[in-house]
Amino acid sequence: MANQFKLPDLGEGLHEAEITELLVKKGDVIKEGDPLMVVETDKASVEIPSPYNGVIQEIHVAAGDVVEVGTVLVTFNGEGQEAAKPLVEQPGVEEKSAPSAMPEKVDVTAVVPTEQKLPGTPATGAPVAAAPTTRQLAREMKIDIRLVPGSGPGGRITDDDVRRFAQTGLPAQALPEQPVPAATEPETVTAIKPPRVTGEQVGQSLPSLISEEDIALPDFSAWGEIQQIPLRSVRRAVAKKMTVSWSQIPHVSHHDNADITELEKLRTSLKGEVEGGLTLTVFIIKAVVAALKKHPNFNSSLDTEKGVIIQKHFYNIGIAVDTERGLIVPVIRDADRKTMTELSVELNDLVKRTREDKNTLEELQRGTFTITNAGVLGGTHFEPIINYPQVAILGASRASWQPVVRKDELDRMEIVPRYILPLVVTFDHRVLDGGDGARFLSTILQILETPEKMLLNI
């Protein structure tokens, strides 16, 4: 009997993926855990492992196809082959001649009980959080990567996890979890439940103004040579998400300039203290977390169905990264619990792996607030779009030396050179007002302009 393998659930909010590479062909003999194909979502590239033993009878997709969760990808079992079935054997357990037979000796250090899986062990058929290079290492060492517990962020399996498992068969020593500070009872926020308006209703409300003919594109090929580039993968996902954000959220932006002259002196003096150096983004993360704690509605989401504002008392900061694939937003979890050094090391590693397309899905989820620093690209001001379902985003432009008029110690006017950083906060006007935006950005400015206060939290 043939078994059909369907695209599994890839994580929160992900309903489709693009097939970017097929790693098998019809007739291949496959074991459970062997990679079948690479799929790409708006989050990351992931290898999809086989949940079965068997022979590939048919491949129903091709590279470039965009498929939804539940779509049949592969049918297992060719003619004359034994029916494909999920593996049940575990390493270290002797083969049983009958279900009731008991092995004479079991190596308990190598057995992974089916009832009590080790932390990080995924369910059968679920994608494993590991980079393609880590998977390749596991294959070379003849290790079933599905049995390797991950010690990385979100249970991600690292190269060291694979090597350690090869030597001992045991997971890495679990680190004690840091205690979560007791959250104070948040102030009750009463939200007015807005009427739910569907896209169809919006379209029907302007029948005399907008029609399909009004938005139809002309035939550009009649004017000259053109090239059609498929809207796929990250670009397609960004287009969808930005459309949702812009259509659902009334955006408002507030701009201001931070005088980071003293901060830049401090940052430069500490460059040699941290591997890779301290970037300005690390200081911005620290300032943002402090501002979110003081203005909790900026770290929230709006539930229009229930008519409530959901404040989050955890601080997962997304960092927008410009890559060849498009804009990717990896997330630094629990940024409030990490020192400047820890943030710097994690940020450098996260950005590097993002640009190398080595992120896991787990690293790109659960963000509560986003920072986008476009300073390296130049420009003086811009207005970022909110990363839905968040309610705000902070943008930083390029810092530069500018002449500033101020009073000296004798209350006389003087013109001095100062290092100025343009900042902008864009927020959801359903949840936050103009005064909120001004106060939030003012808090960030105060922290960046007085770096000695920031040192108290390092």
CA distances from 458 to 282, 343, 443, 450 (A): 12, 10, 18, 14
CA distances from 111 to 135, 163, 168, 169, 232 (A): 21, 17, 12, 9, 42
Q: What secondary structure letter does DSSP report for 149?
A: P
Q: Is 150 left (phi over 0), alpha (psi -120 to 50) or beta?
A: beta
Mean pLDDT rounded to a whole number for the chain:
80
| Structural domains for the chain | 1-87 (2.40.50.100), 111-174 (4.10.320.10), 233-457 (3.30.559.10)
Section 332-360 average pLDDT: 93
β-partners of residue 39 are 19, 46
| Mean of pLDDT values over 147-170 | 79
**Encoded tokens for 131:** 């980079």
Percent of the chain with pLDDT over 90: 43
Joined together, the tokens standing for residue 32 give 């459970």
Q: Which two tokens stand for residue 119?
A: 């932390």
In the numeric block, which tokens belong to residue 217?
């594109």
Read off the pLDDT of each residue in 298-307 and give the average, rounded to a whole number.
96
Task: Report helix, strand and coil shares of the chain as percent, to nearest 5.
Answer: 30, 25, 50
| 74 band by pLDDT with thresholds 50, 70 and 90 | very high
Range among 33-37, 49-53, 65-69, 432-436 with highest mean pLDDT value: 432-436
Give yes or no for a contact between 66 and 78, defined as CB atoms under 8 angstroms apart: no
| Cα gap 295→408, rounded to integer Å | 33
**pLDDT tens-digit map of 360-409:** 888 999 999 999 999 888 888 999 999 999 999 999 999 999 999 999 88
Residue 413: strand pairing partners: 407
3-state secondary structure of 8: coil
The alpha carbon of 296 is separated from its chain's Cα centroid by a whole number of angstroms, namely 22
Whole-angstrom CA distances from 260 to 339, 357, 378, 391 are 20, 33, 17, 26
Catalytic residue among 60, 313, 381, 429: 429
Amino acid type, 268: T
Mean per-residue pLDDT for 36-49? 79
Alpha-helical (H) ranges within 186-232 are 199-204, 212-215
pLDDT value at position 420?
97
Window from 242-251, 313-322, 446-455 with minimum mean pLDDT: 446-455
Provide the token pair at 373.
């620093």
Cα separations in angstroms, 264 against 224, 329, 371: 51, 26, 19
Provide the CA 349 distance to its chain's centre, in angstroms: 14
Q: What angle do CA 271, 275, 148 make, to 5 degrees?
A: 155
The residue that leads in pLDDT, 288 or 108, is: 288
The token pair at 325 is 């694939």
Secondary structure class of 399 (helix, strand, coil): coil
What percent of the chain clears pLDDT 70, i.e. is strictly above it?
A: 76
Q: What is the predicted pLDDT for the residue at 114?
A: 35
Handedness of CA 130, 131, 132, 136 (dihedral sign): negative
CB-based contact 63:22 (threshold 8 Å): yes
Annotated catalytic residue 429? yes
Q: How far is CA 325 from CA 39, 41, 375, 433, 448, in A?
A: 14, 11, 20, 35, 32
Evaluate whether 394 touches 425 at the Cβ level (below 8 Å): yes
Local confidence band at 234 (pLDDT 50, 70, 90 cut-offs): confident
